[in-house]
Amino acid sequence: MGTRILLADDHEIVLEGIRTLVAKSGRPWEICGEARNGHEAVEMVKALKPDVAVLDITMPGMSGLEAARIISKLGTSCRLLIFTMHESGRLGIEARDCGAHGYVLKAQAARDLIRAVDYLLAGKSFFGTPPEEQKVKAEKQNPSGIFCQAFAFAW
Amino acid sequence: MPIETVEAGDSSRAQAMTSRKTTQRIFLFAILLLCVSGTAIYFSFSYFLEGEHWVAHTQEVRDAVGEVETSISAAARARTSFLMSGHAAALDEYHQAASRIPGEIARLRYLTEDNPDQVKRCAELAALTNARLSAWDEAVGKKQQGKPVDLTALLQQSVTQGSRSAEIAEAVRAEEFRLLLQRTSAVQRRFILAILTVVLGFILALLLLYFHYRLLTGELHARIEAEKAAREAYEREAALRHEQDRFRLFVDAVKDYAIYVLDPSGSVASWNQGAERIKGYAAAEVIGKHFSCFFTDEDVRDGKPQEELRIAEQEGRFEGEGWRVRKDGSRFWANIVLTAIKDQNGQLSGFAKVTRDFTERRRDQERLRQMNSDLGAQVAERVVAEEKLANSERSLRQLSRHLLDTQDEERRRIGRELHDSVGQYLAILKMHLDSLASTVGGNHDGAGGQVAECLRLVDEAIKDVRTISYLLYPPMLEELGLSSAIAWYLEGFSKRSSIKTTLEVEPEFGRQTREIELALFRVLQESLANVHRHSGSSIAIIKLFRRNGQVTLQVEDRGRGIPPELLGQADQHWLGSLGVGLRGMNERMRQLSGQIEVSSNENGTTVTASVPDGSALADPALELGCGQAAVNLS
């Protein structure tokens, strides 16, 4: 049985784009369902038991973050990927708080989406960047970040 | 009070009478006792003297007996001497002694004549002595005649008679002595009795006199007290009379009030100058007349005078106003007070009546009432005008609220539209361009370069759309709540303005209603815009917490502060002077029953916005008001 993916977004064009990306990637993945809001997403996860659910944040009714929070508490093995327009340092924090395993910005879909699903299927996380890159980034940035903060404080 | 005093006086007088009688009796008894004591003293002395007398008497008797015996023995000796010697001298001596004997015996008999035993003894002694003397005389006669005398027989006889005579004398003496003892003891008994009587009487008399003295002192004291009380009562009465006189003079002299007394039936009993002035009657004309003559005819027909008297009698007082008639027939508006006068037993003894002429006052009151009603009409007009003003202000406020709401809704719609629609298209466009770029490859000169340029432009477009939509409507406010949305917003704000922000959120802050979250978010936006535009501060501290049923947002900066002249302008309208932005914030807070405070000094400015906690906010009136406003305006 192949990998099954659930999509949740209220924009047909976005769903279409994802389908194209998946098709072009040549991965043997099956789009098992397409939800138009958070409620539908939760119900479809319960019914279809997908391997990965790709959730948009801004949807009518229940948001993707709220849906992720509910799904993560269902106790399924479904991996959750937040797929959003909102770009912010807060996004990673909010996504983690809701029990998601990663997020991809819509603007970076072509580059990151397939990669992120791969990471999630491999049991890893993907918060904007692959986990190894995050570590590298953190190691590189932290000393200068602390220095900057200290400087700002002294100033 | 006076009655009580009189009763008290009577009883005290009665008491004084009885005590005086007792005193007199005790005094008389004491005097009597003293007399008795005196008598007893007298008697005791007489007994004493009597005793003395009896002792002397006994001594006298014994002396008399001794003298008789001495004379008899002297005669016996002289007789014997003559009989033996025949001398004339002895004969003379014998005659002298013999002649003394009868007198002495007579004295003895006289002294003892009170006692029959002694009388008998003395008689026997006298008889014996006479017999002896006659025998002796016979023998002496014979001797004188020279006849022989039988001396032996004579001596024998003399011895026998002599011893008998001595026995009798001794018996007399013993009897006297016995009597003396008897009398002395009797006298002593009586003396002791008398002394006892004297002592007892004296002591009793002294006690009585002391008692008498006490009673007298008490009576004296009571009399002094009574006199004092009587004097005081007199003084009080005098003062009262003086007061009454003064009061009467005062009442008489009062001219502005008619003050007079009615008897229980309602007839005038007294009259003062004021009554004369107000009603026009002289005292002599009116006293004795029934007071219904002061009433109008219709009032008399309606029985008002009797009614007033009845009310005053039942309730103690009647007060009222009405038309009254003067002597000349003219009317005046009177204010009257009728008070029932009752004696100490509660019996009605009359009425006191005070009447004032209120005609002028009534006229003034009428004028005042007229002015009042004019004023009332003006006030009513003004109230209507004010109400209109308040209504227009209310609708203005509702309009401004509606404008704010509409503005919010519009911003939200445009922001969402931009983000959800244009943004999505741009994102997908970028996705396709990315695909295209990977197809075209790294050819920078031809199509590859154009695709790269397109990608750059799309990235810019996405960034702009995102920024504009975030500014129009806070991202994540609905999805994540106020605290997350603020954090989200601050990140962008810091990047754009390079003002360092610090957010302190109470843990477990939770969600509020959509209106509260949006309103507080707008306050934050407005405040941060002010910090950025005016304060010159490089940092901003944002605090969000719930306390005492209030949700509070605080935005603090370390800038130059708001100029005092701007902040100090016209207390409650200060927001007006601070521009439209703050006014909008204030209006938002008012809409949610919240408030906004701005404090500022040279060290920075703090804006504090508080609204009742979301769970507590359920004001249907407010929502209804908004709804109506929306209907009116749409």
Fold topology of B254-357: Beta-Lactamase (3.30.450)
CATH class held by domain B2-226? mainly alpha
Contact across the interface for B488 and A88, Cβ inside 8 Å: yes
Sign of CA dihedral A11, A17, A23, A26: negative
Q: In whole angstroms, what is the distance from residue A80 CA to residue A135 CA?
A: 21
The domain B481-627 is classified under which CATH number: 3.30.565.10, 3.40.50.300, 3.30.1330.10, 3.40.50.1240? 3.30.565.10
Q: In whole angstroms, what is the distance from residue B148 CA to residue A80 CA?
A: 215
Cα–Cα distances (Å) from B14 to A2, B8, B19, B21, in that order, read 140, 10, 9, 11
Residue B411 CA neighbour count, 13 Å, CB half: 15
Mutation target vs A (from B433, B463, B480; most A CBs, 10 A cutoff):
B480
The alpha-carbon radius of gyration of chain B (Å, integer) is 76
Residue showing tokens 């005098």: B238
User: Could you read off the pLDDT of B314-370 as tens digits, one per residue?
Assistant: 998 999 989 999 999 899 999 999 999 988 888 888 999 999 888 888 899 999 999
Contact across the interface for B423 and A13, Cβ inside 8 Å: no
Q: Which two tokens stand for residue B132?
A: 């002896």
Cα–Cα distances (Å) from B619 to A7, B142, B587, B588, B613, in that order, read 41, 188, 16, 15, 12
For residue B227, the model assigns a pLDDT of 95
Answer for the pair B65, B169: CB distance below 8 angstroms, yes or no. yes
Residues 6+ apart with CB under 8 A from A16: B428
- Collapse the DSSP code of B553 into the 3-class scheme (helix H, G, I; strand E, B; otherwise coil) and give the result: strand
Answer for the pair A56, A23: CB distance below 8 angstroms, yes or no. no
Which of chain A's residues have a Cβ under 8 Å away from the Cβ of B461? none
Q: Quick one: pLDDT band at residue B4, thresholds 50, 70, 90?
A: very low
User: Could you read off the pLDDT of B174-225 as tens digits, one per residue?
Assistant: 888 888 888 888 878 888 887 888 888 888 888 888 988 888 898 899 999 9
- Collapse the DSSP code of B234 into the 3-class scheme (helix H, G, I; strand E, B; otherwise coil) and give the result: helix
> Which ipTM was obtained for this model?
0.78
Which of chain B's residues have a Cβ under 8 Å away from the Cβ of A23? none
Sign of CA dihedral A71, A73, A77, A79: positive
Which of chain B's residues have a Cβ under 8 Å away from the Cβ of A14? 424, 427-428
Mutation target vs A (from B479, B483, B488, B503; most A CBs, 10 A cutoff):
B479
Of A11, A94, A110, the CB nearest to B435: A110
Q: Number of CB pairs < 8 Å for A and B?
A: 77
Q: In whole angstroms, what is the distance from residue B472 CA to residue B271 CA?
A: 95
Please give the CATH superfamily to which domain A3-130 belongs. Answer: Response regulator (3.40.50.2300)
> Dmax over Cα atoms in chain B, in whole Å?
249
For B423, the closest chain A residue by CA position comes to: A85
For B437, the closest chain A residue by CA position comes to: A110
Query: Taking residues B429-437, what's their average pLDDT?
Result: 87
Helix (H) or strand (E) holding B232: helix B151-253
pTM over 0.90: no
Sign of CA dihedral B454, B457, B459, B465: negative
Mutation target vs A (from B418, B428, B539; most A CBs, 10 A cutoff):
B428
For residue B17, the model assigns a pLDDT of 64
- Collapse the DSSP code of B539 into the 3-class scheme (helix H, G, I; strand E, B; otherwise coil) and give the result: strand
Residue showing tokens 């009388």: B119
Which of chain B's residues have a Cβ under 8 Å away from the Cβ of A10? 420
Answer for the pair A22, A31: CB distance below 8 angstroms, yes or no. yes
Among the listed ranges A30-44, A138-152, B520-534, B536-550, which one has the minimum average pLDDT value?
A138-152
For B432, the closest chain A residue by CA position comes to: A110
Distance of CA B564 to the CA centre of its chain: 62
Residues 6+ apart with CB under 8 A from A73: A99
Of B431, B435, B491, the CB nearest to A90: B491
Chain A: closest CA distance from residue B430 (Å) = 6
pLDDT beyond 60 at A49: yes
For A59, the closest chain B residue by CA position comes to: B420
User: Could you read off the pLDDT of B21-40 as tens digits, one per residue?
Assistant: 887 888 888 888 888 888 88
